[in-house]
Amino acid sequence: MIPLFGRRLLFYWRDFICRRGKARYCPVCQHTSRKFTPYGVVPRKGARCPWCGSLERHRCEWLYIVRRTDLFDGRRKNILHVAPEPCLGALLQYNFGAGYINADLNDLDVMVRMDIMNIPFSSDCFDVILSSHILLDVRDDSRVLSEFYRVLKPGRWCILLEPIQTDPSFEDISIVDPVDRLREYGGPEHFRRYGPDFVDRLQEAGFIVDVISPEEFVTPMELARYGMTKSADDIYFCIKQKNGQ
């Protein structure tokens, strides 16, 4: 086995080599690369930007935010970013300053340590919530969705990304051993696999839901150059209903 220092040196050298070229473009950090690097438990080719570390879903989410939402319309906004990805968090904090809050239960390098099943903020206080691949890892996802709905301002929105891996969704509360979870759910920390009926869970929480595939806002040429041809998630764009509706 290669020592930890040796692996880090190998990854650094690999990233350095991959950065020298223009075949790929990362819309998050706006750098070009010869190619994106493999990433994943089962490594996906061309997944990770060697500059900022963004993955397919991060590039997809960022493009949707920039092209289809009002996030950058110049008005002040309060943003809650759950389990923040560094590549996106740095950009959001730079643009929104004190209006940006990131949070996680286990990560020490966040602004707020919290359990998203009990969000310690008042109702109707956030304009935007961003959450990616988190609901798989919480025991009670309906409780989390209820909390997201509660703290979001009426008429405002959140983006939720979750992999759709089966049909219908599958979860079994008797599966508790990490080895069994890895076998059944694809990860030792997961509690379920989602299917297309994921949208039903969002609607049951009260959200108006729009499901958008990357092909709806990214051209085929961009999909290839941005490394999003295989593993970019659909966008679940969820709006909290306005009072009285």
What three-state secondary structure class fits 38?
strand
Region for residue 182 given its phi and psi (left: phi exceeds 0; alpha: psi -120 to 50; beta: otherwise): alpha
Segment 230-240 shows an average pLDDT of 88
Q: Are 89 and 81 in contact (CB under 8 A)?
A: yes
CATH of 55-240, one of 1.10.3720.10, 3.40.50.150, 3.20.20.150, 3.40.50.300: 3.40.50.150
Instruction: Give dist(CA 178, CA 124) in Å, integer.
Output: 37
Express each pLDDT in 134-186 by its tens digit.
999 999 999 999 999 999 999 999 999 999 999 999 998 888 898 888 888 88
Express each pLDDT in 88-140 by its tens digit.
999 999 999 999 999 999 998 999 999 999 999 999 999 999 999 999 999 99
Tell me the pTM.
0.91
Lowest mean pLDDT among 52-56, 80-84, 139-143, 181-185: 181-185
Predicted confidence band of residue 6 (pLDDT cuts 50, 70, 90): very low
pLDDT of residue 3: 52
Sheet with strand 126-132: strands edge to edge? 112-113, 100-104, 79-82, 126-132, 152-161, 235-240, 207-212
Beta-bridge mates of residue 164? 194
Q: Are 27 and 57 in contact (CB under 8 A)?
A: no
> Where does the chain hold its CATH 3.40.50.150 domain(s)?
55-240
Beta-bridge mates of residue 82? 103, 131
